[in-house]
Amino acid sequence: MAAEAPVQTNCPTCGAKLKRTNLSLCAYCGSPLQLGGKATTPDDEVQKRLGRLRDHAEFRAKQTWNPADDEAEAPARKLRSFASIAVVVGGLWVCAVLLRGATLTGPWAIAGYALVVLGLVAVVASRAWQTSLRTRPMLRRVAIVTDRRSDTDLERGGTTYYFSLRFHDGSEGEFRFVGRGTQYDPMANGAAGIAFTRGERLIEFHRITS
């Protein structure tokens, strides 16, 4: 008798931890899962509701929309701002040193060069950060929020939300979403709409009322 295939707890394609082990598709990358058994898609009122959302005009219209990826853009903008300041200050520093009659190889000039180099390194780091967060494609799928939790950083004052989403194909996963301040109204359990996800991150959730 052939041995039963071991249950996979992580997606073999993206490595994400699976919320359920009887799924046909990974909730994080959309890749087919080979889990050694026949996966079944739930046939209940939630799935029927998600089916109606797939036929909604807003869902079709949003398939070409690219929401801003704040988690990727915000740190990159800060790094680029720092880089600009470092390059400008370093350049002015070197000019001031030369005007005072110092040599290009003197310690004060070298300090200016160091600032310029630090700024260029920050530019490279900002691009690398964006690239690392954009390596996975953005998926656009109808979903419903089945659960949520949050984690607040008391030192920095920021809140990170974790939304459990269920999709039309029956897959489920928990996605991280960085809060947008006190004016942000997080989705409640039962909210339905279009989830824009990239890996284990929720980029945007566009509510649809049907």
**Length, in residues, of the chain:** 210
Is the pLDDT confidence value at 98 over 80?
Answer: no
Q: What is the pLDDT of residues 7-51, one digit of tens each?
A: 678 888 888 888 777 777 888 888 887 654 555 666 678 888 888
Query: Distance between CA atoms of 112 and 107, rounded to whole angstroms?
Result: 9
Closest Cα to residue 175, out of 206, 134, 146, 132?
A: 146
Per-residue pLDDT, 2: 46
Percent of the chain past pLDDT 70, that is, above it, reads 84
C-alpha dihedral sign at 2, 172, 40, 140: negative
pLDDT > 90? residue 164: yes
Answer whether 171's CB lies under 8 Å from 16's CB.
no
- What pLDDT was estimated at residue 149? 92
pTM value? 0.69
